[in-house]
Structure 1
Amino acid sequence: MPNIEWRGSKCRVKWWAGEYLPNGRKKYESASGFDTEDEAREYGLDREYDVRHGKHVQKSRGDLLMERYALPIWLPNQDLRPESIKTYRSMIKSHILKKWGHMKVGEIDTAAYLTWRGELNRKVAAKEMSRTYADDILMVFGMLMTDAVVRYKYRSESPVPPPTPRRGKYVKKARKKKRPLAMGPVYQLAVNAYTVWGFTGWTYIWHAAFQGTRPGEMYAQQRIYSSPTWPASDPDPEQRLESVERYAQIPATRVEFQHQWVDGKKTLTAPKYESHRTLVEAPFLTAMHQALAASHDSRWAFPALNGGDLLGARFDRDYWGPIRDGAPARESRRDFTRPAIPPVEEFSVGEWPIYRLRHWMKECLDEEGHSETAVETRMGHEIAGVRGLYGNLTIKMERDIVEAQQLRWDTFFDAAGGLWMPPFPTSLPVAQEAA
């Protein structure tokens, strides 16, 4: 039974914490500030109940400050990709520790959490923060609190209340509206890219639009995993044998890595969601890759303007920016002059990232009627449930994609007639970075 004693005008309760001191005596914990003995006794009985049922949290463990828990203890033990670790660290530093860093892990209560959640919601309403970003912050905080209960035993329960059934009028989530996109704007992007980046830029845009690879995967694309050398150049003997058998007659690109910064170093990591995959190519794209490969000796399929890798370049500013938004003529540069570049309104209005080309590829595949298995496999997605379990990408599905993409290319250029096409590639322009 808990022990009750008066200290001045307030009541104090002590209970056995379920542990022993080094000298063998029982270790007690206490709480004070109660107005009546009944209140104190009830509190002590609850603590003893927690001890008997394994729910008790040592008071000293809950005294750990959030700033000494979130980054030094919690984040290093998360099995996440480098980019996710970077994002989580930023959220914890900028928002979670700013609010809770000075508080003890065990003293954060539900009322304070709900107040903070309301503050984030008001920032969303004022357009100071996106809904997605606010939800991600709350998600990370929820994981911190769940692990504080389950893994580290710093608390007996999380201050984050379980989700409740939705109340009130349904409010549709706001999504950025995509403008209708046809082949013409993509062609103009490719022309602009040639002006900025030579034949590499021309091929880069068409590859992004018809292969749908993610930007990090494009940065990591190497010659040995690209046509015309792949699959014969694949360094994995088992994968090479299997791929040669399947893709001997259909040129393809292998998505094997993405290029990321990890602890300040350029690192080839696995693609997002471990989505290693092979992407068959239409003949027009294979011809571009053959010409591009003959124009340089870099290990990268798409070398930067200075001949190095794209991860180290300022891609959004020096490449995608002028390709999408246009740029004035450069006439006074001794190293690299170029004509004026027109903006591509379908991309510049709304400031769409190059990721939009990946989305366009999926729109085209859906429009052409390819199976969900073929489309999602090409996108690097897994189909959940029984459909994903029994689905399988067949060689016919891949041939159908090649034929449809080549038809889309031929139809556009035949209908337009007389469109400019780049000459066979020569050396790359002199690097902007070196200027």
Structure 2
Amino acid sequence: MQTTNQGSHSFEAPKQTSLVGKQMFPFILITFLFFLWGMAHNLDSILIPHLKKACELNNRQSTLIDTAVFFAYFIMAIPAGMIIKRFGYKNSIITGLLVFAIGAFLFVPAANTRMYELFLFALFVIGCGLTILETSANPYAAILGPPESSSKRLNLAASFNGLAAMVAPVVGSLFILSGTNHTPDEMAAMSEATKAAYLLGEAASVKMPYIVLGSVLILVAAVVYFMKLPKLKIEATDSEVKPGFFSVLKFSHLSWAVVAQFFYVGAQVCVTSFFIRAAQQGAGLDEKTAAYYLGVYGFLFMAGRFVGTFLLKFIKDYVLLSMYCVLSVLLSLVAIYGEGIHVIYALGGLGFFMSIMFPTIFSLGLVGLKSNTETGSSWLVMSIVGGAILPYAMGTLIDVKHDDIQSGYIIPLVCFLVILYFGVFGRKVKKEKIQ
């Protein structure tokens, strides 16, 4: 997921009129950061069914993986801004990478002990690193080139989140998922030694991918340390006095955007977190084939961003958002009540139509805020906590429904109805409040 820092900052734009020379390699490196945090988020969709098996969890407990990561965003949103203000963007990027790497390396002791609480702590640390990294790296995607093309650079960099959504399930399928699943009766028939060896082997498969990930992060941090990056100059964009952190919510369209973003992030995480198990249960696929289809979902999510960006040239953003919400509601109904391969088609379609929702809600929420934009952005970033809460609600519902995975997609359906309300009514700006 992409979060764009849209405060009242002006950048020292490079003198070049295009990305050439000294600006090209830094931009490639910063874009690679988008891919790295996309990998972290999309590997969570592999970890949920995998650790459910390896640590013998119920559905509700397995969703604490999402809770650990996204609660870190809520906790670290304000501290991340303080770190940037105190140490600068370059040092904050390095800090985010190193904290991210520490979390990745913590997967080794977590796997060795098969201690779920340690896995959750590692994921929380990763989430803290991601918050610092995302808040720091986004402005650099804007600064590395002419100001008039900054939005194009941000969209180009963000597309690598979609690439990660396609690559991560493939990596997870090859190196994490074993493809071996035993029924409760088969598990009960195992001797204690055989069962312990099987579960420890399942847990151990996460070590190598996360050791490699952590090592790459350390290497990238070293490259950033020795690289000269353009500096950021802070200036006020107008003389307007900013309201307090809570009083900015007097802008009703921003308040509704925060609500919509909370439900969007929750919906996206719900869809991907239970994708593999829904594909197994609804379409009868094995674990590795289901992971392959999750990669197809990632491709459709990436394609949806390109198609959506094209359509926005001809269709108003709130109209396209509302249309996509209606289609997402219909696809959620297919995911709940459908059978066979139609369940997979519905989930893949959700990936396509969800692709534009985060940036569209974000931009609609900031319309007309002027010098209040930075505070409004903070609220929209903090609303990412929906990814920590709603998947837990979905897992609880699935457990109540006796492991009926498809019934859990009622939660995303409700989320899309809330976003639809925002697109039709909530996004309207009350002019008297911004004058």
The structure that is helix-richer by fraction is: 2
Fold match (TM-score > 0.5): no
Question: Scaled by the length of structure 2, what TM-score is found?
Answer: 0.22
The structure that is strand-richer by fraction is: 1
Question: Scaled by the length of structure 1, what TM-score is found?
Answer: 0.22
Higher Cα Rg: structure 1 or 2? 1
